[in-house]
Chain A
């Protein structure tokens, strides 16, 4: 519909046209406490007129209450938005701010200087194009400067703007500036940071931020803003080979599947031949859906949906590639680790690893060394503690398609999560994959579960009995085991109470310990299933999520949940071990059904209502189920 352009239309068209030519620069400020990070950003926001009237008046009133500048405007308060930060006058977490000049738009993250909050600095550094490293001209390069710079090198931040701040407090001394720059280059060069630009500034007064400093006529380089506006930070991901970590499988109306994800690198076009990793299957791109509708091609950074020409099995965590030389498929990797958790690293413990869209279990097999931040020298170590950087080898519980971090941030960066506390334990960058999947004993064993099961002439599975204490789980499980043995089956009963004397002897009955109890029994059951056995477990297992997690760790059909359902009044009447009596008296804390919840299964494979059948009848029913479903 034709319509004349109004002045607003024309203004907007001009704004949008300019915006199209202005890719955003993501940068961070880092360095030690009080080197002036927040002040620098405040100055940039103020001088670029990104602050609005009500924000300025709020800043003035906040400065009177919280400020550290004797009632003058304290720019740090623009960013230190948390109450605790204002009260303590420190930065705890990253603040993201957005501003634009005529030439460019910026997303800036102000990061904490305290060593305690290094994990938050790492968060911001992982997505930065450029880092402004601030150094106090009076103090020079200090430990936190070294730590932050090391992390920048580790995370592949290629551009550093070294801002030597508070030049006014060293009488704008050119020699002092030169000495600090030399020291910093000595630090950054071995870390492989290719582009370092050094600028002497006074953030509080604005010298060499937007305006050239009259006091430092000896300096003839760019101002901070000149450099930020003009620095070229081209992403190399567009020119690399095509990689798409599959994020989500979309069921298309009318049949078929679309594989969704954000392209990590390269280009893709309709008709391209793609390989799926780790499976190695191949197909062609039939169609491609982008945010702007169906297109012939797409490139790195775009979120797309790919429809393949053939029915191939593709799921979340798989990686699609094109051309020759796909991603590495590894069961073992060597990597640098930055430890982020107060809980130190424990060798041999299984962490949850996330890399690309893949999740795997990972054990730190060996720790080769730890880096001394002061000297940058490496030394042998057996563990890593908070903020340590180390290098080691990780064993994965399944093969994973990945890349070295040098080649791909998306497929080479990973995190480790503590299974018990769910805290993010470490950030890692893959150095290289150590072996191909085919060499990894976890994956390609000559004697597999299937081979063992065939020899035993049965389908291995877990009969997971759950129910209140005294419901009859152990009684029924014992009867089932006897019947199975008499039928010539290979089976083993894991009894909850008995396991608590040995394997789980270190655990109590608090919720977290119950969960760990469950997890261990689940893992043991899984191993026995792998050994080809029919496993019976008899423990209360009160939490639905825990049971579902164990189910999820097994293959379909391997987890048979049996709810031994007995009303609590009946359990209490039976009270075979006297537990209820003691719980009622308060002698047992956290007793399920009395002081701790029991969550019954929503849809158990088998329901044994013991008020309507004897234990013998229940056992016969369970064995009947296994025969009917052809477990043997």
Chain B
């Protein structure tokens, strides 16, 4: 038996999604729920959309082998939606790349596979096999896990396929060093970012010239905020992973965060016990490193209202971001997205 607090919206799995990975329903909020107030996409969002599509087309036109990073989260969902728009009715002129750390929520992987099938796009899944052989426990060694299974794995994949541009969904409002980054951000042949030597970015003109081995990271959502992303998901009816919606899920409390027990690999520490709580996620990553929030928000309007009234920032649930001062900048310099 499972407990559901609050109303069950149409399309919501009757049981917590974590227990029924085969039963993911891709939620199209507008179609199923009807659009509240009949709101149209605002001039503000349209302007962001026009800018993002301009940037995506610029990547296709200026690079010989671009790729789009697909992390399955809400920002990736928006990015993918924009990319489909940018090139419709033709196919995407670049493949997607998912760097699988082996510790993503099961719901994320099921959602990924379903979306790829529906859209008929090319997806490359890359896993750092050498790293996987080390069996790093992300809960015990979060920095090492992130470095080996995310940063190093990404570099491996970019090198192996010779990608000269990698499109990502990072936004400037996420974090202080991201607020400083260009939309077209140069990387050395060692994938390093040099924040002191960023190329000037004037008007809509981008210096995309590269020496062999160098590459560019491109961020078409640079000027979007978290609220913009949610509004757009709502108004455009973009499918997202069910984990963003509140449901009763098994969790433990660890270091002041609620960690969901997604499978039997999570080793419980003394005193920890599994509880069922009504929770959802504001961002998604590796499940042992992603803090959940208590919430009764089971619909998109609930989520948006809750997000707008939150007094805590989005990445607060990411355990790896504040492991030392300026940690994001450091990781980015080393090649993290």
Contacts and interface: CB of A to CB of B under 8 A. Distances in A.
B279 to A, nearest CB: 18
Interface stretch (A121-129, A221-229, A362-370): A121-129
Interface stretch (A247-255, A496-504, A524-532, A619-627): A247-255
A545 interface: yes
Contact of B47 (A8, A24, A261, A292): A24
Given A52-B312, A424-B207, A94 B49 contact: no
Contacts, number: 214
A98 B172 contact: yes
B205 A54 contact: no
Contact of A251 (B51, B53, B90, B322): B90
Given A1-B34, A82-B195, A95 B176 contact: yes
A301 B172 contact: no
B89 A253 contact: yes
A3 interface: yes
A178 interface: no
A13 B36 contact: yes
Contacts of A13: 36-37, 39
Given A9-B301, A95-B180, A127-B203, A253 B195 contact: no
Interface in A38-71: 52-55, 58, 62, 65
Contacts of A251: 90
A462 B127 CA distance: 45
A415 B203 CA distance: 9
A220 B204 CA distance: 39
A260 B43 contact: no
B173 A12 contact: no
A92 B61 contact: no
Interface in B173-228: 173, 175-180, 182, 195-196, 198-207, 209-212, 222-223, 225
Given A52-B313, A92-B196, A357-B61, A250 B176 contact: no
Contact of A86 (B204, B312, B326): B326
Interface in A1-31: 1-3, 5-6, 8-13, 15-17, 19-20, 22-24
Contacts of B316: 54
B201 A123 contact: yes
Interface in A221-270: 247-248, 250-253, 258, 260-262
Nearest to A597: B212
Interface string A155-170: 0000000000000000
A413 B205 contact: yes
Interface residues of A, number: 84
A8 B301 contact: yes
A543 interface: yes
Contacts of B212: 543-545
Contacts of A122: 200, 202
A65 B209 contact: no
B10 interface: yes
A119 B329 CA distance: 21
Interface string A330-358: 00000000001000000000001011010
B88 interface: yes
B196 to A, nearest CB: 6
A80 to B, nearest CB: 8
Interface string A75-89: 000111111101000
Contacts of B202: 122-123, 126, 413, 415, 424, 427
Contacts of A544: 212
Interface string B77-111: 00000000111111000000000000000000000
A58 B322 contact: yes
A289 interface: yes
A83 B326 contact: yes
A253 B196 CA distance: 45
A304 to B, nearest CB: 9
Nearest to A289: B88
Contacts of A15: 231, 304-305, 308
Contact of B44 (A24, A83, A252): A24
B36 A12 contact: yes
A250 B196 contact: no
B215 to A, nearest CB: 13
Contacts of A452: none
A10 B88 CA distance: 34
Interface string B20-37: 000000000000111011
Contact of A247 (B61, B175, B196, B223): B61
Given A95-B180, A292-B41, A424-B207, A3 B33 contact: yes
Given A83-B330, A126-B203, 20 more contacts: A8-B304, A16-B39, A23-B44, A23-B47, A24-B47, A81-B175, A81-B326, A82-B329, A97-B179, A98-B225, A247-B61, A248-B61, A251-B90, A258-B90, A262-B50, A354-B206, A413-B203, A415-B202, A424-B202, A543-B212
9 contacts: A8-B297, A11-B301, A23-B44, A58-B322, A81-B329, A82-B180, A82-B196, A96-B180, A261-B57
Top 9 closest A-B pairs, CB basis?
Answer: A81-B176, A13-B37, A20-B42, A9-B36, A8-B301, A303-B53, A126-B202, A422-B209, A83-B326
